Amino acid sequence: MTKDPLSKTISQELQGAGKYLAFWLAKEEFAVPVGRVREIIPVQEITPVPQAPFYVLGVINLRGKVVAVMDLRLRLGVAREGADVRACIVVMQPDPSRGRSPIGVVVDGVSEVLQIQPGELEDTASLSNGWMQLGCVNQIAKSKGKVKLLLEIDRVLAPAAEVGAEPEPAAA
C-alpha cells in the first residue's frame, strides 16, 4: 500500500530526513520542512488586527483569501537588527490534520532548499544532557559545515494559549 504525499511528508518530518527550506532571522539560520511551505511572497501591506498577540502583525489578502501574518523574530524572541531588503513572507501550512488555515511568517531572507540526511541531525534533548530544551527548535542540523535550527513548525504557528506562556518581546 502506497502512502499519499501528505502522509509521506509527515512521515519524513517525524524521521527528520528530507528537504528543508532554510531562511535567516538576524544571524541565525533556521529551516522548516519544504512540505509545509505553501509559497514565498514579497512583504506587502499588512492590515493590523486589534488585540492580536504582540508577534502577530495582522492579515493580508492573498489572492482573495485572508492570511494571518506573524513576525517570526518576535515569535521566537530574536532581537531586531534592522530591516533586511531580502525580507519576505513565507506562507506555511500548520498541522493539516487540525484544519488550520495557512499562516504567513516574515523572515529576513530565504537562503536555500537543502536535503538533510538523518546522520546530520542532533536532537536538542540530547545536547548537554537535556539542558538545551529549546521549545520551538526540535532538532539541529549540521549541513555544509554550518548549523541550522530546525523549527517545530506546529508549535511556532500554534496560538500561544496552546503552547504555554509567550516569549518576551525581543529588544529593539
Q: What is the pLDDT of residue 144?
A: 78
Domains assigned to the chain: 5-155 (2.40.50.180)
DSSP-assigned letters across all residues of 31-51: EEEGGGEEEEEE----B--TT
Does the pTM of the predicted model rise above 0.85? Answer: no
Query: pLDDT: is 130 or 111 the higher one?
Result: 111
Q: Inform me whether the pLDDT recorded for 34 exceeds 90.
A: yes
Residue 110: closest CA among 83, 80, 90: 90
pLDDT tens, 52-83? Answer: 999 999 999 999 999 999 999 999 888 877 66
